[in-house]
Amino acid sequence: MRSIVQYTHPRSTSLLPSFGFAVRSPWRGLESEIDRWFESTLSDFMTPAFDQRFPVDLYEDKDNTYVRAELPGVNRDEINVELVNGYLTISANRKTHGQEGEESFALSRSIAIPEDVHADKVGAAYENGVLTVTLPKKEEAKPRKVTVEIK
């Protein structure tokens, strides 16, 4: 993989407290150089294109549990969502057009779902490369107020 001449590294990961005499800390240049070296060394091992696991976010509100998975570049028909025994398994096939023709790469991840779920009412939507799975909670799992009488 030949990369274009030299790439800059604009990532600013810190909101540095800026003292009066240096709006940019004099170490910033060095920090970003070192970040770049580490990234280029380690990045070949962990690239999203060849990593079987993809980032997943878990949210909830009082009626549903939501799972958002980052799956860019996958066809809707190639995504499988299965719910088995309280584990949600998302698997997908990503097709890339390499030099040899089409290459297929399998992605898969299982997440434990915290609450009891109405298995037949699970819905999913895929937009802009992000899959959102909505899992409606069973009545017992919804937060309820229980008053306890003290004798």
Conformational region of residue 36, where left means phi above 0, alpha means psi within -120 to 50, and beta covers everything else = alpha
**Binding of residue 45 to another protein (CB under 8 A):** no
Closest CA to 122 of 96, 144, 111: 111
Q: How many residues bind another protein (CB under 8 A)?
A: 46
- 41 in contact with another protein (CB under 8 A): no
Smaller CB separation from another protein, 27 or 66: 66
Distance separating alpha carbons of residues 115 and 98, to the nearest angstrom: 42
CA–CA dist 59, 46 (Å, integer) = 26
Q: Which is nearer to another protein, 100 or 151 (CB)?
A: 100
Question: With respect to another protein, which residue has the nearer C-beta, 8 or 147?
Answer: 8
| Least spacing, CB of residue 149 vs another protein, in Å | 30
Among the listed residues 21, 38, 145, 149, the single contact to another protein using CB under 8 A:
21
Strand partners, 90: 81, 109
Q: Which of 1, 11, 5 is nearest to 38 (CA)?
A: 11
For residue 96, which of 81, 83, 106 has the smallest C-alpha distance? 106
The yes or no reply on residue 107 touching another protein (CB under 8 A) is: no
Going from the C-alpha of 97 to that of each of 11, 54, 143, the distances in angstroms are 30, 20, 48
Q: Which is nearer to another protein, 30 or 125 (CB)?
A: 125
Q: Does 86 bind another protein (CB under 8 A)?
A: no
| Residue 100 in the binding site for another protein (CB under 8 A) | no
Residues binding another protein (CB under 8 A): 1-15, 18-21, 23-24, 39, 47-49, 55-62, 66, 68, 70-74, 114, 126-130
